Amino acid sequence: MSASFRLMAVHAHPDDESSKGAATMARYVAEGVDVLVCTLTGGERGSILNPKMDRPEILENIAEVRRLEMERAREILGVEQRFLGFVDSGLPDSEEEPLPEGCFALQPLEIAAAPLVAAVREFRPHVILTYDDDGGYPHPDHIMTNRVSVEAFEAAGDPDRYPGTGDPWQPLKLYYQMGFSKQKFEALHDAMTTRGIGSPYADWISRWEDRPEKWPVTTKVPCGEYYELRDQALIAHATQVDPDGFWFTCPIDLQREVWPTEDYHLARSLVPSALPEDDLFAGIHAEEVSQACH
């Protein structure tokens, strides 16, 4: 893998990069790819989900704490990372509950997308990773992250759009994260049950809504050898992740055996690539990258 390849992952909050595609990023970093994580909000309205960290002084300084957690996770994964400056919208208790004034999810699209367009034009990624149009799950910031990622992919190469945000740059491929599939968790559940290991997935699977697959997996990136780094990065987000909790019940060796990939849907592509793929850069040739950089 040439160091001239560049990968951008766009996420809503600090910790999302470690729970969605972290092993993929660690693999590509090890292969010499430049990887940038763009975090759209500071996670200011995130709850403390790790009971060991549920202390008043942390909640009072949650934005700064989450920045420090992100710094540690970034170091573990070996990626670059930048915050794009929006304020976390929080997760409403109901659809009727209004979102906080000024939050990320309420921004006009062109305002919300402008910092990402600028980042794309500066970093010049060949591939962008983001969420599907449901946000992966229906958090308002995740849904808006999809919208601004698609907007940036389609606008960054157009010199007439977003003036003042840098020279145009056209990414070549856009992927949606597909890490939370029923098929994956059924496979892990069956493997744990067969080996007599208590599975945490049974109740989750039983409540899974069966519906037609909207975004089929097109691309499975082998990255099992980086699962330890993924977990270390996730644990670095100590306010959000309990190291004794749900995410770490299935042994890593079993995960490697049953599901050694992180999975994606190829949503946009400007290069030919035969599906299914096992590489986010499939179809992008080094000579084309070299020419595009000049």
The annotated binding site for Zn(2+) is made up of 13, 16, 142
Residues 6+ apart with CB under 8 A from 195: 254
Question: Which residue type is seen at 54?
Answer: D
Positive or negative: CA dihedral 214, 256, 207, 239: negative
The annotated binding site is made up of: 13, 16, 142
* Helix segments in the chain, DSSP class H: 16-19, 22-30, 56-60, 62-77, 109-123, 140-155, 182-194, 202-206, 227-236, 252-258, 286-292
Positive or negative: CA dihedral 195, 201, 206, 212: negative
Of 200, 192, 209, 254, give the one whose Cα is nearest residue 227: 254
3-state secondary structure of 256: helix
For residue 52, the tally of other CB atoms under 10 A from its CB is: 11
Structure tokens at 46: 């995130």
Structure tokens at 116: 């990402």
Structure tokens at 21: 């595609």
Residues in the chain: 294
Contact 75, 120 (CB under 8 A): no
Taking only Cα atoms into account, the Rg of the chain, rounded to an integer number of angstroms, comes to 19
CA dihedral 234, 62, 149, 71 (to 10 degrees): -50
CA 51-202-235 angle, to 5 degrees, is: 35
